[in-house]
Amino acid sequence: MSKKLAPYGLWKSPITPSLLGRKIRLDDVQWDSDGKTLLWVEGRSGHGVLVAKRGDDAERDLTGDIPVKPTLGYGGGEFNARANRAVFASKGRLYDIPLEHGLPHPITPKFGELAAPLISPDNQRVLYVHSYEGKDSLVLANLDGENFPQKVAQGADFYMQPVWHPGGEKIAWVEWGHPQMPWDGTRLMLSDFEEDEVLAGDDDTPIFQPAFSPDGRYLSYISQGGEWERLYIYDLEEGKVRMLVDEAALSMPAWIQGMRMHAWAFDSAHIFYVRNEMGTHSLWVVDVATGKSARIKTPYTHIIQLAASPVDGKLAFIGESPQIAAQVVVWEKGECKVIKRSMADNLSAEYLPSPKKMTWAAPDDTPVHGLYYPPASAVYEGEGLPPLIVDIHGGPTSQKYEQHNANSRNDAFFYTSRGFGFLQVNYRGSTGYGRSYMKALRKKWGPLDVEDAVGGAQALVEQGLADPGRLVIMGGSAGGYTALNALVHKPGFFKAGVALYPVTNLFTLEMNTHKFEQNYNATMVGTLPEDAEFFKEWSSVFHANKIQDAVALFHGKEDRAIDPEQSETVAAALQANKVPHIFRLYEGEGHGWRKAETIERFYKEVVDFLQQYVIFG
């Protein structure tokens, strides 16, 4: 059937705002210790629910009205299961719940923030990360809720990824201190509760995800030395370290607790792990004895939260691809079984093209990377050149991956199915392209990311893939910072900008940001008062009078990472300067959208804005 001709940007699409609002967020997946029950966390319109599925039985919600919601930093580390029970974090407390029947009950007092609970091998205690009044620690609590929790590690600024030795006599974790971020440099710690030992890492060597082998002999971890990462195992009996996987991108930036990119098989003879090749994930397994790796074929190009069954060869994970929305998956003997879908997979493949990996040269000839999604529809085709959305990731230490992207703001297919091209820019400073590439943005946050966003758009224009008069820049958080700075420093290049919870004032960010990013500016921007001029030059609030292109601003009223005032001040300046704009402050939302009604409203308002100021403007 021939397609209808229709103007780019005005195509009707089955990927509606309400469809995206109804999407379930899948945050983690784990096995119970008997290997019979699989558990995962679903985010339903901002409410986290712990779900369990035993064997062939239907899945069951466990947590009811109590939300699964860790409040430490950006979240993560939601729950842990063992011996037919689960412990989960909710708004500063830990709750225990039996998997068979019963209601959640609190086992810790409500104070501070916490995440990453781990039940001890003897099922008597729970280890977790805790923060109170700016001081972080590792804490032990009794699983029965008796007695007050006790600190077992303190003194570092941050703790992450604690794990129990199978014998229960040791624990390991990752810790670090200011001014490092977890991708800058951390320490891998091993403790017998009497003495702590640094096994690996330093201020310039990041360690990611320690994990004990099921037989208790080894401790595995990912370490970055030089350009790339390696997977190591430490022999606890012999005190020797051995490398299993050499020079690859094996982790993701540890913005949240509880991230897992490798997992020991139940027999301690193999380790499953994920490789990242320029934004595309693949699943592998390495033989511990020989060090030989083999790729596991799956249909997924984004794979996270690996969880190996403790009793057999199954592996659970959360997987997706451009054609497959996020799923809870169990792999066994070469086959992938879908356990839970985040949304219906019933769209025509014509709406869901795989991205083209792009590379273009920066002014200093450094290769810059991105993923380009062309306009695509099962019904329509356009004439001439399409408008282009240049999408900038947050962080800024992060990366865009080859995935479905059906989330709260940057669903590529929502836009491409309406006739927009969509370029995801992995600008200098992004992860996944080597350590030098990641460090290139340091003290240059603002100039380089804007340069790379403009360069990516220009490259597509030169290839005849984008209309130079209808370019849009979009981003959230650090991406919003880049979007507004592009409008300030390159006025007229973009027809419009869309900024979600953006950084607009580096001075107030320096004073008001949360502990996790307290020294991030020192690395990415500079220090005060020495670098005050740079702070001012790249704070869009001081240059809003230079913005002449239409702007859409969005912010959550309860954002604890970036104060809503950062958007409010720019909106006021745009109003005073009579620049076309909209500003929306969403009630009950923080640093990103969780409620279905907010997500639906956001997408409706963005497409109306783009059609008014880019397509018809």
* Reported confidence tier of residue 145, pLDDT bands at 50, 70, 90: confident
Q: Report pLDDT for 560.
A: 87
Q: Please give the C-alpha separations between residue 436 and each of 192, 225, 226, 429, 439, in angstroms, as whole numbers.
A: 37, 11, 9, 9, 5
pLDDT tens across 260-299, in order?
Answer: 999 999 999 999 999 999 999 999 999 999 999 999 999 9
Domain 347-439+468-615 CATH assignment equals 3.40.50.1820: yes
CB 302 within 8 A of CB 402: yes
> Please, which residues bridge with residue 39 across strands?
30, 52
Alpha-carbon span 105 to 145, nearest angstrom: 9
What's the rounded mean pLDDT across residues 293-320?
A: 98
Cis link prior to 396 (omega < 30° from 0)?
Answer: yes
Question: Which residue is listed with tokens 């923080």?
Answer: 590
Q: pLDDT of 223-235, one tens digit each?
A: 998 999 999 999 9
Instruction: Return the pLDDT at 409.
Output: 65
Banded model confidence at residue 1, pLDDT cuts 50, 70, 90: low
Q: What is the pLDDT of residue 230?
A: 98
What's residue 305's pLDDT? 98
Q: What is the DSSP letter of 613?
A: I
- Assign residue 102 a region (left: φ > 0; alpha: ψ between -120 and 50; beta: otherwise): left
CB atoms within 10 A of CB 134: 10
- Entry pTM: 0.96
Q: Where in the chain is the domain with CATH 3.40.50.1820?
A: 347-439+468-615
Q: Is residue 541 helix, strand or coil?
A: helix
| Residue 157 pLDDT greater than 90, yes or no | yes
Please provide the distance, in angstroms rounded to a whole number, between the alpha carbons at the two ends of the chain.
Answer: 33
Question: Angle at CA 421, nearest 5°, toward 43 and 413?
Answer: 25
E strands, 491-602, where? 496-500, 550-556, 581-586
Helix (H) or strand (E) holding 528: none
Ranges in the chain annotated CATH 2.120.10.30: 22-260
The percent of residues in the chain predicted with pLDDT above 90, rounded, is: 92
For the 22-260 domain, the top CATH level (class) is mainly beta
